[in-house]
Structure 1
């Protein structure tokens, strides 16, 4: 397991720790460290976030909360939901064993300004060509009780996890390591359930470990499995991400259906023509379903 150091100086803007050209080559491929200006920012105080959580609760699907004992092998949406109101959860966050996920906080203009700063940083890393593939910037706030674990999982987006308050350890795997994240799991992520990743005991040995403190950030590539151990205080982290074109995910969707037919489909990236053909087939099926619903 590779361990990366933590950085403690407070920055005034987003920046990469390693040279920009190196990070451009590693974007979407390898985890790397970055710095951000949001450490202990007033918009991420518990009082401010309690209001944001109330706003998110009024939007369908934009607030997730669970509480209880948790292991890395547990699925993130199988933990019991707390029998508490949002104000009660914030009041008891030190002892509740809770994990709160606040989605689309950028609907508030004050947070949108911070997302715009991140977007400019990410597009600078991506460069002129890479920027053409990225869209739909999003901000997700994660609030975690002391010593709480977060599940082994992977995501579809290009993601930067920024630590604002408290500290934690995060393990990030190589997104191409199929002993950790299989093709079948990625296909199921896009078609069956977005918690399709399954923890494997050897994952920690091949993962890269980062310790995050306020001001630290880590780039988590698309499909890179990762999991988190919070330290002894309440943690506030912000997940900043941008999406790839739909055809990438549609290729995996097509492979899922082909595999169900008993075939062994080529992984995405083997042939651009085949990938585009699969994506076109899924898009056509989507349009047919849309017409039927009408």
Structure 2
């Protein structure tokens, strides 16, 4: 799907205005917050365009399942019995949740993603250095669908395009919500779905968002999402930083150390840089001694 001029023209001149960028700069990279955005419609984000995108992407870049789920699930949720394109086209009644991953594989969507990130690149790089590995994800959800409790390794801004949802976030790096052992397992290739306990709910912060609102999600901040009463389309623009990679590598090294009987100290959150463990892991990996 190549981007005709009409797709480029569909973007407002500025999606994140000066007040939004200033607010983002004050809170990035560790504080969740809601921003205003100007991307409330776009031809590439219409339901039929998304169904066609889903059919273009490799199977590894689409995930979809039933949306009538609890907050916590044990492993991957079950299938909804439809194809990905059917799920998207019937999202109003399919009782499902779908995500299209790495949309930058398609040139038109890569241009959309990079256009958005370029607007906030100065604020990103002033805080965490070079913006690395930009990726885009699109979520299409039925009314009332639940995205179960999980976390993600990227810096993330979730732009709500259509419908509404409530994301409940928990503090990143707090072992009350995710243990150090689970972090280590995840960074060594394990699942991102987290163990849920209803006792944690009072400690979460709810962020309701609708069209024209975006939510910043810090790296590895646990969260779950409940969709509102109408179908939802959300665009997630993400990136990594050397800081986030070093924390990930320190976690992986800790897993190796723990497997050998040690009790390693957890890596520090931003602005701690975790240089020693990260570079030790990189050396072990280069020597083929990590077991992965």
Give the TM interval when normalised to the shorter protein. 0.7 to 0.9
In the alignment, what sits opposite 1:45?
46
In the alignment, what sits opposite 1:281?
280
Between Structure 1 and Structure 2, how many residues are aligned?
280
Equivalent residues of 1:72, 1:152 under 8 A apart:
yes
| Whole-angstrom distance in 2 between the partners of 1:247 and 1:231 | 36
| Whole-angstrom distance in 2 between the partners of 1:113 and 1:68 | 30
Give, in angstroms, the shift of residue 187 of structure 1. Answer: 1.5
Give, in angstroms, the shift of residue 19 of structure 1. Answer: 6.8
| Whole-angstrom distance in 2 between the partners of 1:213 and 1:233 | 11
- What SS does the aligned partner of 1:202 have? helix
Give the 5 Å matches for 1:34-113: 34-56=35-57, 59-67=58-66, 69-75=68-74, 78-113=76-111
| 1:216 lines up with 2:213 in the alignment | yes
Deviations 1:148-181 (A, max 9, x none): 1111111111000111111111111221332122
TM-score by length of 1: 0.84
Unaligned segments of structure 2, at least 5 residues: 1-11
Equivalent residues of 1:186, 1:196 under 8 A apart:
no
In the alignment, what sits opposite 2:267?
268
Runs ≥4 in structure 1, deviation > 6 angstroms?
16-19
Equivalent residues of 1:17, 1:34 under 8 A apart:
no
Equivalent residues of 1:188, 1:196 under 8 A apart:
no
Equivalent residues of 1:189, 1:195 under 8 A apart:
yes
| Whole-angstrom distance in 2 between the partners of 1:201 and 1:138 | 32
In the alignment, what sits opposite 2:5?
none
| Whole-angstrom distance in 2 between the partners of 1:68 and 1:128 | 39
Give, in angstroms, the shift of residue 128 of structure 1. Answer: 3.1
| Cα distance change, pair 60–89 in 1 and its aligned pair in 2 (3 A) | closer
| Whole-angstrom distance in 2 between the partners of 1:196 and 1:229 | 16
| Whole-angstrom distance in 1 between the partners of 2:54 and 2:116 | 21
CA RMSD of the aligned region, Å? 2.9
